[in-house]
Amino acid sequence: MTLAIALSSALSTLVLVLALVLPSIASPAVPFGVRVPARYEGDPVVTRQTRLYRWRVLVGGIAAAGLVVVLYAVTGVTLLLPLSVLLLVGVWYGCFFLANHEIRAAKAAGGWFEGVRPGIAVDTGLRTDPPRFPWLWLAPALIITLATVVIGVLLYPSMPDILVVHRGIPDRTAVKSVATAFSLVFVQLGVTALLTGIAAAIVFGSRPDIDPAHPATSARWHRRYLTLGVTVLLGLLALIDLGMLGSSLLMWTGTVTSWAPLVVVVPILVGVVIAVVVLARNNREPDEGEPDTGLTHREDDKYWRGGMFYVNRDDHALFVARRFGVGWTLNFGNPRVLMLLAGLVALLALVITLRFGG
Amino acid sequence: MIINVDLGSEVPIYQQLRDRIVEAIAGGVLSEGSSLPSTRVLAADFGINFHTVNKAYDLLRREGLLQLNRKAGAVVTVTPGDPAFRADWTARARTLLAEAVARGVPAGEVLTTCRSVLESFATTQPQDTP
């Protein structure tokens, strides 16, 4: 139980810190996901909403945590702890949406986009000479998965006949078979394939959002951010696979301890924190003193539903950079993305049915 | 190569695309054999109609600056201007210079501007042939 409390607190703290830091690391051209021309980036409305947002997140976050603590003390239901993280994310989105709404209203009322010269910038080099996929960073994940298979095959004869199956927590026993002994290896393979696919889609199927006011700086930053993002994603993948290796070792050696979940959770948590910190530190385009071209990004708020979800049927990109957050988000208007998501959900449903059926 | 398109300009987008590519060739950003994205990819990156990019590429192809084929996509070629091109270009330069004179830009400034623009292209400019 203490473990669940510690983990939920760690995750909640991560969400809260990220929520408080985001206004400072998100692009000033899209404060709270609203596209504004450069001369309105420091507008009093934006400054005021940033302050209000931070207060709301802080107060709402503390209230949500307090509520969960009280409910947990009364009922003692462990499920409440992971739910508290979801509740915090909900509070965060609410605070974001309020600020988004206010800034959008001020923009419309003040006619912020009147008289600006809208432009679009494209870096053809990203297509004719695309960034290289960091294949070397995929090696740790592949080596760890392969090592798990080899160790599993070697240990198989000496494994106990009844295995304690870990699903995060050691929760049931099963008769030794290839399917039970290697269950986490299948998870490793699935996660490796999925995250490598996402990484490849980000490198080859994302559309950069280049600032027409400083296109050269923006294009350079995009290239760097892309490589960095994919690298940390593959690093996270290696740590997930490492967690599965650790958990498999516990199962194969018949070790039952109270810290078993840590073996899975700690590497994943470390990977997530590293990924978020690295992306957050590089989230903003630097100012390299490039002369302003006088052009402004076109107003594209209509493609961002609720300020957060990108839905654009006419955009071929699978991924675009997040406006308020770190990393990328899916283009939910792209039929290919919808098909891939449906396929993924179907696959997950099949796996779950098979496991419970078995 | 970075292409910046001004959506508020009176110059049509296909013309802007064509102009930026010609300038990139003159400035040495693109050279003979450099490739450009296919029409579909470039149109998708701009979020504009595919026919607009097609029109720009077709213009460049007819001018002998771009080769379009199914496999390699769009590749920059350099065809030296023939006498007909030179006559046409002189006529257009005449109009452009006339605009400056008509609006009272001093001749010295016009010449300085012309020289500095030419110098910015100096890396690819062919040496004067006797």
| Cβ contacts of A249-252, under 8 Å, gap ≥ 24 | A249/A151, A250/A164, A250/A166, A250/A170, A251/A163, A251/A164, A251/A165, A251/A166, A251/A170, A251/A181, A251/A184, A252/A151, A252/A152, A252/A155, A252/A156, A252/A159, A252/A163, A252/A181
pLDDT for res B22: 95
How far apart are the C-alpha atoms of B127 and A221, rounded to whole Å?
37
- Residue A358: pLDDT over 50: no
Residues A193 and A312 in one domain: yes
Count Cβ–Cβ pairs < 8 Å, chain A vs chain B. Answer: 67
Residue of chain A minimizing CA distance to B42: A124
Cα dihedral A83, A85, A86, A88, rounded to 10, equals 130
Q: Which of A87, A116, A145 is the last residue of a domain?
A: A116
Mean pLDDT of A157-183: 78
Residue B16 contacts residue B6 (beta carbons within 8 Å): yes
Does residue A83 belong to any structural domain of this protein? yes
Chain segment B21-44, per-residue pLDDT in tens: 999 999 999 999 999 999 988 998
Nearest Cα of chain A lies from the Cα of B87 at a distance, in angstroms, of 32
Does residue A210 belong to any structural domain of this protein? yes
Residue A91 contacts residue A60 (beta carbons within 8 Å): yes
How far apart are the C-alpha atoms of B41 and A155, rounded to whole Å?
51
Residues A111 and A238 in one domain: no
Mean pLDDT of A16-20: 93
pLDDT for res A177: 86
- Residue-by-residue DSSP string for A50-119: HHHHHHHHHHHHHHHHHHHHHHHHHH--TTHHHHHHHHHHHHHHHHHHHHHHHHHHHHHHHTTTTT--EE
* Strand A118-123, strand A296-297: pairing: parallel
Residues A298 and A159 in one domain: yes
Residue A248 contacts residue A152 (beta carbons within 8 Å): yes
Residues A1 and A85 in one domain: yes
Residue B36 contacts residue B72 (beta carbons within 8 Å): no
How far apart are the C-alpha atoms of A121 and A127, rounded to whole Å?
14
Residues A112 and A130 in one domain: no
Q: Which of A91, A116, A141 is the last residue of a domain?
A: A116
Does residue A134 belong to any structural domain of this protein? yes
- Residue B129: pLDDT over 50: no
Does residue A64 belong to any structural domain of this protein? yes
How far apart are the C-alpha atoms of A31 and A304, rounded to whole Å?
13
H or E stretch at A305: strand A304-305
pLDDT for res B85: 92
Chain segment A233-284, per-residue pLDDT in tens: 999 999 999 999 999 998 898 887 878 888 888 999 999 999 999 999 998 8
Mean pLDDT of A124-146: 93
Does residue A174 belong to any structural domain of this protein? yes
- Residue B128: pLDDT over 70: no
* Strand A319-321, strand B66-69: pairing: unpaired
- Residue B122: pLDDT over 80: no
| Token couple for A318 | 């699978």
Confidence of residue B124 (pLDDT cuts 50, 70, 90): low
Instruction: Name every chain B residue with its beta carbon within 8 A of the beta carbon of A303.
Output: none
How far apart are the C-alpha atoms of A82 and A265, rounded to whole Å?
13
Q: Is B34 on the interface with A (CB under 8 A)?
A: yes
- Residue A355: pLDDT over 80: no
How far apart are the C-alpha atoms of A192 and A185, rounded to whole Å?
10
How far apart are the C-alpha atoms of B76 and B68, rounded to whole Å?
9
Of B6, B36, B46, the CB nearest to A295: B6
Residues A163 and A72 in one domain: no
pLDDT for res B126: 55
Q: Which of A116, A144, A160 is the last residue of a domain?
A: A116
Q: Is B37 on the interface with A (CB under 8 A)?
A: yes
Residues A112 and A145 in one domain: no
pLDDT for res B130: 42
Main-chain dihedrals φ then ψ at residue A46, nearest 5 degrees = -65, -45
Chain segment A311-341, per-residue pLDDT in tens: 998 888 899 999 998 999 999 999 999 999 9
Instruction: Name every chain B residue with its beta carbon within 8 A of the beta carbon of A221.
Output: none
Chain segment A72-124, per-residue pLDDT in tens: 888 888 778 788 889 999 999 999 999 999 999 999 999 999 989 999 999 99
pLDDT for res B127: 53
H or E stretch at A165: strand A162-167
Residue B30 contacts residue B17 (beta carbons within 8 Å): no
Residues A165 and A196 in one domain: yes
pLDDT for res A1: 62
Does residue A67 belong to any structural domain of this protein? yes
Does residue A263 belong to any structural domain of this protein? yes
- The percentage of chain B sitting over the pLDDT mark of 90, rounded to a whole number, equals 74
Residue of chain A minimizing CA distance to B6: A119
Q: What letter would DSSP give residue B128?
A: P
Mutate: best of A120, A302, A315, partner B, most B CBs <10 A: A120
Mean pLDDT of A2-19: 85
Residues A258 and A337 in one domain: yes
**Residue with the larger pLDDT of the pair A145 and A8:** A145
Does residue A121 belong to any structural domain of this protein? no
- Domain span at residue A53? 1-116
Q: Is A336 on the interface with B (CB under 8 A)?
A: no
How far apart are the C-alpha atoms of A341 and A323, rounded to whole Å?
21
Residue A252 contacts residue A181 (beta carbons within 8 Å): yes
Residues A111 and A163 in one domain: no
Residues A204 and A300 in one domain: yes
Mean pLDDT of B82-110: 94
Confidence of residue B125 (pLDDT cuts 50, 70, 90): low
Instruction: Provide the mean pLDDT of chain A.
Output: 90
CB contact under 8 A, A122 and B46: yes
Q: Model-level pTM?
A: 0.88
Residues A102 and A145 in one domain: no
H or E stretch at A49: helix A44-75
Q: How many structural domains are present in chain A?
A: 2
pLDDT for res A154: 94
pLDDT for res A169: 54
- Residue A3: pLDDT over 80: no
**Residue with the larger pLDDT of the pair A2 and A54:** A54
